Amino acid sequence: MGILLHRQAPMATTTQVSLSSKVIDITVRSRQKAALERLESIPTPPLALNEIIKLLNDADSSVLRLEELILSEPGIAAMVIKVVNSPVYYPVHPIETISRAIMFLGFDEIKKIAMKVGVLSPFKQKDIVQELSMIANHSIATAMITAMLSEQISQNNYGEDRSLAYLVGLVHDIGRMAIVTCFTDNWKKIRYKAKSENISLFAAEKSFLFNHTLIGNWLADRWQLPGNIKNAVANHHAPLNDSATTPLSAAVQLADYLSYKLGLDEHTAPDINEEAFVLYLGIPAGFLDYMKSQLGAIKKLSSDMAKTML
Ligand SMILES: [Fe+2]
């Protein structure tokens, strides 16, 4: 996959993450904790899992192809990162890219992980399967855009790690996937409210005293995902002047918005001021226009990658 390089980037500070986690834990604890605690992975379509397991059973399969498949599926990618950073393996430094996770774990361990990922039953309600597929497609496009933006960011050298940026974009909406999976009734009410009042899903979620960034951060905390990933999951809709916002979470927010503009997803979040994001990230003048000229190709590529979802 041409969009991948393998370099490291600095971590989000623990203060940023732990402070918000305390608030989130209190908010989530009283309402959704039990259901979320049972969620060990994001349900994944059997076709995607089978393709990975088939590849892992083939002695001639390549690491690059395995990486491509994992990076086409937010649920599997999140599970691999969760396991490789768990106390079972306890890497010296957080592992924040799929390529490093594959090198660290090896094919046999990845196979065990793939076999433990929750399967999205084709017998589940069709609207749930469609929603998870749509989020996955949106997430792949967001990942591609975040990776492209990351190379242009002038702050904190985040531009040095395209692979991390891609992964963060891919898993940024695990909170949405968890809401659809664990709180299906609420998710339907959120959808109805957003549509009937013509507001974003994020705004509609607030009426239910939670939102997908809170849920996502709670999950990321429980799954012990690395700081950079957790921060972007938690803060990809935070205002630019929020102390928890980082260049990477802001890049995901801009990418998320551009992805929504592609029509791959519903109106998930309020509109943002694109220029303010360009200034904050230090992206060169004209790059956003270039990015927008690439959106059609990104839409086609992400849709092709997400084809195995149904
Ligand atoms: Fe989001």
Q: Give pLDDT, residue 19.
A: 42
Residue 213 vs residue 265, higher pLDDT: 213
Least confident of 20-24, 79-83, 229-233: 20-24
CA of 173 to the centre of ligand 1 (A): 5
CA of 237 to the centre of ligand 1 (A): 6
Can you tell me the distance from the alpha carbon of 80 to that of 88, in angstroms, rounded to the nearest whole number? 13
CA of 56 to the centre of ligand 1 (A): 32
Q: Give pLDDT, residue 17.
A: 43
CA of 129 to the centre of ligand 1 (A): 18
In tens, the pLDDT along 129-186 reads 888 888 999 999 999 999 999 988 865 555 458 899 999 999 999 999 999 988 888 8
CA of 54 to the centre of ligand 1 (A): 32
Give the chain's mean pLDDT.
83
Least confident of 14-23, 160-169, 285-294: 14-23
In tens, the pLDDT along 43-94 reads 888 888 888 999 999 888 889 999 999 999 999 999 999 999 999 998 999 9
Q: Give pLDDT, residue 2.
A: 42
Q: State the pTM of this model.
A: 0.86
CA of 264 to the centre of ligand 1 (A): 13
CA of 63 to the centre of ligand 1 (A): 30
Nearest to 169 by CA among 71, 265, 91, 83: 71
13, pLDDT greater than 50: no
Side-chain-facing half-sphere of 136: CA atoms under 13 Å: 30
Q: What is the mean pLDDT of residues 295-303?
A: 86
CA of 135 to the centre of ligand 1 (A): 9
CA of 90 to the centre of ligand 1 (A): 29
- Tell me how far CA of residue 82 lies from CA of 117, 222, 272, in angstroms: 11, 9, 31
Cα end-to-end distance, the chain, whole Å: 22
109, pLDDT greater than 60: yes
- Tell me how far CA of residue 130 lies from CA of 136, 217, 308, in angstroms: 10, 24, 12
Does residue 167 contact residue 115 with C-beta atoms inside 8 Å?
Answer: no
The pocket of ion ligand 1, defined by CB under 5 A, consists of 173
CA of 269 to the centre of ligand 1 (A): 7
Can you tell me the distance from the alpha carbon of 71 to that of 58, in angstroms, rounded to the nearest whole number? 19
CA of 59 to the centre of ligand 1 (A): 38
Q: Give pLDDT, residue 173.
A: 95
Q: Give pLDDT, residue 36.
A: 79
Beta-carbon contacts of 214 under 8 Å, excluding residues fewer than 6 positions away, are 24, 27, 28, 175, 234
DSSP string, 197-263: HT--HHHHHGGGT--HHHHHHHHHHHTT--HHHHHHHHHTTS-TTSTT--HHHHHHHHHHHHHHHTT
Q: Give pLDDT, residue 24.
A: 52
CA of 233 to the centre of ligand 1 (A): 8
Domains in the chain with CATH codes: 14-40+121-305 (1.10.3210.10)
CA of 180 to the centre of ligand 1 (A): 13
Can you tell me the distance from the alpha carbon of 230 to that of 247, in angstroms, rounded to the nearest whole number? 14
CA of 220 to the centre of ligand 1 (A): 14
CA of 61 to the centre of ligand 1 (A): 34
